[in-house]
Amino acid sequence: MSTAALQPVLARPIRRSVRRIGLSAELLPWLYILPAVLAFGVWIYEPLIRAFMLSFYEWNMLPFSPQKWVGTQNYSNIFALQKLWQALGNTAIYVVGLLPMSVAIPLAVAIFTHDLKGRWRNFYRALIFVPMIIAPVVAAAVWRWLLDPQHGILNLALQGLGIAPIDFLGDPNFAIWTIILITGWKLIGFATLILSAANANINPSLIEAARMDGASSWEIVRDIRLPLLSSTALFLVMMTILLGAQWSFTYINVLTAGGPLGSTTNIYYLLWDFGFSSMSVGWSSAAAVVLFVGFSVIAFGLFRMIERYSFYDN
Amino acid sequence: MANLQIANARKSYDNKQVLHGIDLHIEDGTFLVIVGPSGCGKSTLLRMIAGLEDITDGTISIDDEVVNDLEPSARGCAMVFQNYALYPHMSVEQNIGYPLKIAGVSKPERARKVAEAAALLELGDYLDRRPAQLSGGQRQRVAMGRAIVREPRLFLFDEPLSNLDAKLRVQMRIEIKRLHRRLSATSVFVTHDQVEAMTLADKLVVMNAGKVEQVGTPGEIYRAPASAFVAGFLGAPAMNFLPGKVLQQGNLHILPNTEIAVHSQELHQWTGREITIGIRPESLLLGKPSAEGIPAHVDLIEELGGSRVAYCRTDGPEIAVVMHGDLTVREGDRVSIGLLPEHLHFFEKTNGQRLGGGQASQQAQASRAMHVAFN
Ligand SMILES: Nc1ncnc2c1ncn2[C@@H]1O[C@H](COP(=O)(O)OP(=O)(O)O)[C@@H](O)[C@H]1O
Ligand SMILES: [Mg+2]
């Protein structure tokens, strides 16, 4: 069998069959994105719609128990819960408390370590990036030891200084800030990495031009670096607002379970708690829908802002 | 405006020396062009003048003040970068006005000066745009505007035209020349483009491998290149180099088999030695095959519109000849290449240094003498 004879035979029917599927020129592009659409549909949109529907039902998640239509009652119920308002308030505290560690400090570190050389560069990198690569549950366990009110090294140190031991995870005044600090400690490396990359991407001749124009180091940071890093910083702000509650989930779950007295719970932990502890799927779904709508609005606004502060240098 | 003095300037990166003792003097108001092949150290030298690069050894003085240890901003230089280095987040107006803002110039004063510079550069209609919304030529002008607005003592240009297309490059070249005539500010312009160098320079510096090869006016350097490197670098098509040997009575044997009478005094002391003979393609003449001249056949003809270049095979190296007028020579024709003794340049075979004066260099000396007389 000669390949020369084979080729037209193979080529023609395929081309014809594509044509027969018809309107192929219009359809073909959709075919290409079909896998992605399917994945999005199955793992994101379908659950979203399912959650939206479930938020109008009462159900305990047992496969054979009936789902009972309750209208908007789940919503009125959860909004009547003091717990929800506490979680929403805490979510705001988490976000605001995380921002210095997810944006401000990394921004400063990225800018001020930009010119570091050799050994110091490696040193600071190790310092900053090590927390990032520790598994969250392991980190949580280690922090529990360190923070133990009786035997934790931190409290031993405080005692050495003559300060009464603090129950970092058990005292409602301290617990949320402890969780925020641990979450931030874990986050700082990632944020620094992103901002360092953005900072290193700034065309060095812009900095030289500014030096020639007479700008001092601080003026260069203020007038050149910060404006050019603003879109990346805003991106991190957005990530913190949208995901801050999720990032702290592991530490809440392992260290405080939302306590004491709900002082460390947040909206994300609460909806998990509704669903998987209280087994009330309707409440959990309603909380998820509220979360989704609220964060969508915020994300939309932030995206607009990022767009506005992106400067393309070519 | 200022004069600039560079004395024995050296630069090393990690013990690798890239500039080997540069000496230059630039008078007030001069447009100095530094030309040389890529990697010869032009940018490094310019950045040392600007203060963006440390000076390993030697001194750089502006207006007789050593600036080695001064910050870039304290040296009073403005620089135009190859990639323009416009601030992408600022409008044209803010870009041009930035040095003034830093200098603490009041807002109305700043606006006035920016408007003035923008008018000079025909940027008036674009003041509100961002650099990304400008064409290459407009960006180039904004970069110039940012440089002129602060009235620096010294303008530094690092290949500012090499990112432009050919037509725009010529246009901007003329504009820069015009601008210099108007502002008559001392300028140092770095380029690897010999046409740019020849057309812009009041004074031309040819650099090679971290050294200055020659300093002079474009005309002087073209007529009397100080070395085979300079001769080959300036001029297009490039100068032809032929191996030769000096015979008795100033006669010259062009290898392998041409002999001409030169009657050059300078060549006497080189009698019996081998040298390199340089001759520009436009100084050669093509003729019918004859006993005179170098026998050759035309291998290839390049049409340049105004003129044509014939690349000729000889028994020695290939020789390029610019053909004038309507000479009817075709590829493959047998020809004889005629040369006039007064158009020959002689170089030492070993180190490429120019030998003696030659007619061209006498002219150069004459013009230098006149320069002295005028001062
Ligand atoms: N930052 C640097 N580190 C090490 N070598 C450098 C550096 N900058 C330039 N060089 C070297 O110095 C030489 C001159 O470079 P440069 O001044 O940029 O040349 P030009 O501008 O003439 O093309 C080159 O060999 C280059 O490799
Ligand atoms: Mg260069």
B218 lines ligand 1 (CB under 6 A): no
What pLDDT sits at residue B166?
87
Show which of B165, B200, B230 is a domain's final residue: B230
Give the length of chain B.
Answer: 375
CA distance A107 to B112: 36
Statement: the pTM of the whole predicted model exceeds 0.90: no
Regarding whether B211 and B144 lie in a shared domain, the answer is yes
Q: What is the pLDDT of residues A29-40, one digit of tens each?
A: 888 999 999 999
The confidence score (pLDDT) of residue A302 equals 87
What is d(CA B88, CA A310) in angstroms, rounded to the nearest whole number? 9
Say yes or no: ipTM exceeds 0.90.
no
Residues on chain A touching B72 (C-beta within 8 angstroms):
208, 211-212
Residues 6+ apart with CB under 8 A from B125: none
For residue B97, give the chain A residue with the closest CA. A213
Of B52, B98, B132, nearest to A312 by CB-CB distance is B132
Encode pLDDT of A249-282 as tens digits: 888 888 888 778 788 888 888 888 887 877 788 8
Q: Identify the CA nearest to A167 among candidates A147, A183, A181.
A: A147
The minimal CB distance from B85 to the residues A208, A227, A228 is found for: A208
Encode chain B (375 residues) as per-residue pLDDT tens digits. Answer: 688 999 999 999 988 999 999 999 999 999 999 999 999 999 999 999 999 999 999 999 999 899 999 989 889 899 999 889 999 999 999 999 999 999 999 999 999 999 999 988 888 899 999 999 998 889 989 999 999 998 888 999 999 998 888 888 898 899 899 889 888 889 999 999 999 999 999 999 999 999 999 999 999 999 999 999 999 999 888 999 999 888 877 778 877 777 777 777 777 778 888 889 999 999 998 888 887 788 898 999 998 888 889 999 988 899 999 987 777 888 888 988 888 888 889 999 888 888 865 444 444 333 333 333 333
Nearest-angstrom CA–CA distance, B241 and B347: 9
As a whole number, mean pLDDT of residues A76-99 equals 88
**pLDDT, position B108:** 94
pLDDT at res. B102: 93
Identify whether residues B58 and B187 lie together within a single domain. Answer: yes
**Burial of B93 per CB tally in 10 Å (0-12, 13-18, 19+):** buried
In this prediction, residue B1 carries a pLDDT of: 64
**Out of A212, A214, A224, whose CB is closest to B87?**
A224
Largest CA distance in chain B: 78
In Å, how far is A197's CA from the nearest CA of chain B? 18
Q: Residue A278, Cβ neighbours under 10 Å: how many?
A: 12
| Chain B nearest CA to A108, separation (Å) | 20
Boundaries of every domain in chain A? 7-54, 76-309
Here the tokens at position A99 are 């921002």
- Ordered DSSP codes for chain A: --HHHHHHHHHHHHHHHHHHH-SHHHHHHHHHHHHHHHHHIIIIIHHHHHHHHHTTEE--S-TTSPPEE-TTHHHHHHHH-HHHHHHHHHHHHHHHHHHIIIIIHHHHHHHHTTT--HHHHHHHHHHHHGGGGS-HHHHHHHHHHHH-TTT-HHHHHHHHTTPPP--TTTSTTTHHHHHHHHHHHHHHHHHHHHHHHHHHTS-HHHHHHHHHTT--HHHHIIIIIHHHHHHHHHHHHHHHHHHHHHHTHHHIIIIITT-STTTT--HHHHHHIIIIIS--HHHHHHHHHHHHHHHHHHHHHHHHHHHHT-----
Question: How far does A279 lie from chain B, in Å, by closest CA?
Answer: 52
Same-domain pairing of B195 and B311: no
Is the CB of B18 inside a 6 Å radius of any atom of ligand 1?
yes
Helices (H), B60-121: 92-102, 107-120
Nearest-CA residue for ligand 1 atom 21 is B43
| Cβ pair A139, A131 in contact under 8 A | yes
Answer yes or no: do B217 and B264 share one domain. no
Do residues B218 and B249 both lie within one domain? Answer: no
What pLDDT, on a 0 to 100 scale, did the predictor assign at position B361?
A: 42
Q: Which residue of A has its CA nearest to B50?
A: A212
* Burial class, B335, CB count within 10 angstroms (exposed 0-12 / middle 13-18 / buried 19+): buried
* pLDDT tens column, A56-69: 888 887 878 888 88
Residues with CB under 5 A from ligand 2 (ion): B 43
- The residue length of chain A stands at 314
Q: What is the pLDDT of residue A21?
A: 52
- Token digits of residue B149: 């607005």
Amino acid A19: pLDDT: 52
Tell me the CATH architecture of domain A76-309: Orthogonal Bundle (1.10)
**Domain boundary, last residue among B230, B263, B288:** B230
> Is residue B28 located within the same domain as residue B66?
yes
Which is the closest atom of ligand 1 to the Cα of B44? 17
pLDDT, residue A10, reads: 46
Residues from chain B contacting residue A205 (CB–CB below 8 Å): 81, 83, 85
- The pLDDT mean for chain A works out to 83
Tell me: the pLDDT tens digits for B155-211?
A: 999 999 988 888 888 988 998 998 898 888 899 999 999 999 999 999 999 999 999
| Nearest-angstrom CA–CA distance, B271 and B250 | 8
**Is the C-beta atom of B54 inside 6 A of ligand 1?**
no
**Whole-number Å distance between alpha carbons of B183 and B147:** 12
| Nearest ligand to residue B34 Cα | 1
Q: Domain check: are B56 and B134 in the same one?
A: yes
Q: Which of B195, B230, B265 corresponds to the end of one domain? A: B230
Contacts of A219 in chain B (CB under 8 A): 102
Q: Assess whether the C-beta atom of B13 lies below 6 angstroms from ligand 1.
A: yes
Split into its structural domains, chain B has a count of: 2
Do B308 and B207 fall within a single domain? no
Question: Searching chain B, which residue's CA lies closest to the CA of residue A219?
Answer: B102
Report the side by side order of strands in the sheet with B186-191.
B77-80, B154-158, B186-191, B31-35, B203-208, B211-216
SS3 B106: coil
* Alpha-carbon distance A210 to nearest alpha carbon in chain B (angstroms): 8
Decide if A278 contacts A272 (C-beta within 8 A). Answer: no
pLDDT of residue A130: 84
- State mean pLDDT over A298-311: 85
Ligand nearest to the CA of B40: 1
| CB < 8 Å to B130, chain A | 311
pLDDT at A20: 55
Q: Do B89 and A227 touch (CB under 8 A)?
A: yes
**Cα torsion at B168, B170, B174, B176 (round to 10°)?**
60
Per-residue pLDDT at B57: 92
Q: Chain B residues with CB inside 8 Å of A198's CB?
A: none
Please indicate, yes or no, whether residues B147 and B254 belong to a single structural domain of this protein: no
Q: What pLDDT sits at residue B366?
A: 36
Q: Identify the domain containing residue B158 by its residue range.
A: 4-230
A213 vs B81: CB contact, 8 Å cut-off?
no
**pLDDT digits 0-9 by tens, A195-246:** 988 998 899 999 999 999 999 999 999 999 999 999 899 899 988 988 888 8
| CATH number of the domain residue B39 falls in | 3.40.50.300
- Do B10 and B125 fall within a single domain? yes
Question: For a substitution probing ligand 1, which of B44, B54, B196 has the most ligand atoms within 8 Å of its CB?
Answer: B44
**Residue B368, pLDDT score:** 34
Are B200 and B81 in the same domain?
yes
Residue nearest to atom 4 of ligand 1 (CA): B13
Whole-angstrom Cα distance, residue B182 to residue B179? 5
CA–centroid distance, residue B40 to ligand 1 (Å): 7
Chain A interface with B: residues with Cβ < 8 Å: 203, 205-206, 208-215, 219, 223-224, 227-228, 311-314
On whether both B161 and B248 belong to a single domain, the answer is no
- B-chain CB neighbours of A221 within 8 Å are none
Give the number of the atom of ligand 1 that is nearest the alpha carbon of residue B210. Answer: 14
B221 lines ligand 1 (CB under 6 A): no
